[in-house]
Structure 1
Amino acid sequence: MQARLMDQPADFKRLGINPDQVEPWEEARREPPAPGHNEVWYFDATFADGSKSVVGFRPKDPAKMATATDSPNVNIMLTTPNGATRSDFHYFTAAEATTGTTVGCDLQYGTDTAKGDFKTYDIHVAPTNGVGCDLHYEALTAPFRQGTGIVAFGDHDEDHHTDLAVPKNKVTGTLTYDGVAHQVTGLGYHDHQWMTTNPISLYHHWLWGRMYTNRYTVYIYDFVAAQRYGFAQLPMFGLLDNETGNLLFETEGQFTLAKTLSRQPQLKRDFPKNSHYVFTNADGASVDLAITWQDELEVRDMYTNLPASAKQQFDAIGAQPAYMRYYAKGTVSYTDATGRQTTSRGDMIYEYAYLGKPDPGAHI
């Protein structure tokens, strides 16, 4: 079976997607509440005081994706300036929630809301259990999608998983924790994903992250499909200009990747310590991206301690999921079609979702 990025003229035509511009309807709900289908509007931010926020709105509980009805939910995770974590989940009935289906992000899940249009977003999570936020996002870059934003799986594109992002935003507002509303200012990221099945069944692994330098915003979602899809390499990559907010470079799919691996003792697997990408396009433009992680921020074994019944479900699809999140240093060099080159450096937080079993053919 094949896996491919839907980026051909026939794909845009069939899906009704404008190849030249991201349009507001693309930010509305894209999936029906059918079994296996779900989506997420994701927002994160890092603030000047050292605090961090992650918020996700989903019309279906990931644990209930096999059902044919909505089970709306909101998750929030805050990290305080001293590194402590505060988190909460809010669950609502379908009758308590509205997920807009026409234009823009228009979510009303009980007490919580997310509304936006690629230019601004306003996020409210009520501090029902003492953890909440009121945040305003102001886009500093244009929205980015690779091709149609859709990765299709199967010989007839039977399944899909997607990403549509606003990679860089100015974020202001308040985080509520420990009984106090804290004023914050910082930078953040937003994306919208929709899918027809659990991504764990589709991918062997991915590296996802973004980097802000003084000149550029780097977006990368380097997917490698599961074994039954031939470990197909499906990179999404964009380089945006901080001054104009416009896209400078979007990969055409031609790239090389050199890595050095490091053993993670808790997970007993090799993960890239250094990742060196070189993306080249037909017009001669290229981007050289070198990433070296400095610190492990999160180590998560999603398989070993599961009950036998859950392990059997993963075993049936060849999955043995684990997750890493890193703080890294990065260097990006951009060469435009005329040969002019500029180089910039920055800090990066990225995740490495290692979902399949170790395999020498999986491009780890």
Structure 2
Amino acid sequence: MERMRLMDRPEDFEKLGINPSKVEEWEDGRRGTDGPGEGGVWYFDATFDDGTKSVVAFRPKEPSKMMLAGDSPNLNIAINPPDGRTLQEFAYASTEDSHVGTDKCDVHFGPNWCTGDFKDYDVHVEETNGLACDLHYHALVEPFRQGTSIIALGDEDQYHYTDLSVPKCRVTGRLLYDGAWHDVQGFGYHDHQWENISPLLAFHHWFWGRMYTDKHVVYIYEFVGNERFGFTHVPYFMVADNDTGKIVFSTNGDYQLETEKEMQPTIGRPFPKTSRYVFDNGDGNRAEMTVTWEQELEVRDMYGSAPANAAEAKRLQEKLGDMAKVVGGTKEQFDAMGIAPAYMRYYAKGSLRLTLGDKVEESSGDMIYEYNYTGREDPRAGV
């Protein structure tokens, strides 16, 4: 068993040059390299007043080329119109026509870019097969990182996985789809992640999402390592005040979880239907969050849909072309790794009971969250 921990000790901040009392602009710049095994993303999503949803993600390296040296700049833009369709395209750029800054979020891939400073961000994607966007994100809460934002994996902390976020922004601008520009306004989220280990090799599962209530913004990213890393649980969790935008609670890592599970028929495994988290810092500050999903928004059975082996994958590729692409590999490869990747995204209802000393506040709201379930069923993992 190898170690997995949040880097939040004084010596971790000193080693990484991170200010423990303030998130600084450079932290949203490029943090990794273009070496083998390195990857990362600047991610932006939004839900608009008319029901439209959008996602734009900039990656300096294609996930399929993560183990190769050198960058392969790319982005994806996805738009869900009010009628529920999913429209998605990808755009690519040469390294010569790209720039990724290290002093702030300053990413340019050809004619496309995302730039910002934790207060305001602009996201621009030129028309790509009928999809485009010009969006402005204005932060409504402080940026959040748990500790240094870095989970270290391995006995020498040689691997890392991260998340640094701005959990709630007002989003305005326009989207191009169905041959016309559409003015939009709503709320959204930004995060920056960078890593040097594939999540397929690091985690058994994770729960990631945020909830907007009438009083608070709630953000959670619960990581659970795989057997190699001792099924270690590392939570990121914070609550911000809607009126001030200030973070009023963040976990010290101590929490309890109870789930009520329900079988997912497509994947053939039970997933949590209701999750009850209790984050108790032991100092009179406590957050209790309960989430019950009402609708499955996305079901991805990466294991079940994978070809049996390399020969079958090759036959499918020849027959179907790009339609045959599979995330991660074949069943044979997954079996050798002892994993069965699956992914769920939900619309849920949630509630929060926040205790700060003698003050207790209760609120409720809607939540969209993902459950990324890479490992096989194992009672030690605490699904």
Give the aligned partner of residue 221 of structure 1: 221
Q: Could you tell me how far 1:318 is from its partner in structure 2?
A: 2.3
* Structure with greater proportional helix content: 2
Separation (CA, whole Å) in 2 of partners of 1:318 and 1:162: 24
Q: Identity percentage over the alignment?
A: 53
- Amino acid of the structure 2 residue aligned with 1:235: P
Per the normalisation by structure 1, the TM-score is: 0.98
Give the aligned partner of residue 315 of structure 1: 335
Q: Could you tell me how far 1:339 is from its partner in structure 2?
A: 2.1
User: Is the counterpart of residue 93 in structure 1 residue 113 in structure 2?
Assistant: no
Give the aligned partner of residue 39 of structure 1: 40
Give the aligned partner of residue 258 of structure 1: 258
Give the aligned partner of residue 270 of structure 2: 270
Separation (CA, whole Å) in 2 of partners of 1:277 and 1:305: 32
Large movers: runs of 4+ above 3 Å: none
Unaligned runs of 5+ in 1: none
CA displacement 1:275-317 (0-9 Å, x = unmatched): 0001001321000000000011111011122231423333333
RMSD of Structure 2 on Structure 1 (CA): 0.9
CA displacement 1:208-247 (0-9 Å, x = unmatched): 0000001000000011001110100111000001111011
Q: Secondary structure at the match of 1:166?
A: strand
- Amino acid of the structure 2 residue aligned with 1:17: I
* Length, aligned pairs only: 362
Separation (CA, whole Å) in 1 of partners of 2:122 and 2:43: 12
Aligned ranges 1:310-349 → 2 under 5 Å? 310-311=329-330, 312-336=332-356, 338-349=357-368
Aligned ranges 1:1-16 → 2 under 5 Å? 1-16=2-17
- Amino acid of the structure 2 residue aligned with 1:339: D
Confirm or deny: 8 A CA contact 1:214 1:344 kept in the other structure: yes
Separation (CA, whole Å) in 2 of partners of 1:51 and 1:280: 37
Separation (CA, whole Å) in 2 of partners of 1:108 and 1:329: 37
Unaligned runs of 5+ in 2: 311-328
CA displacement 1:4-41 (0-9 Å, x = unmatched): 01111111111111110000110000010000101100
Separation (CA, whole Å) in 2 of partners of 1:151 and 1:200: 15
Separation (CA, whole Å) in 1 of partners of 2:336 and 2:192: 29
Q: Could you tell me how far 1:97 is from its partner in structure 2?
A: 1.0
- Amino acid of the structure 2 residue aligned with 1:76: I
Separation (CA, whole Å) in 2 of partners of 1:353 and 1:128: 29
CA displacement 1:21-73 (0-9 Å, x = unmatched): 00011000001000010110000000001100001000000010111010000
- Amino acid of the structure 2 residue aligned with 1:288: E
Aligned ranges 1:1-364 → 2 under 5 Å? 1-101=2-102, 103-307=103-307, 308-309=309-310, 310-311=329-330, 312-336=332-356, 338-364=357-383
Confirm or deny: 8 A CA contact 1:285 1:339 kept in the other structure: no
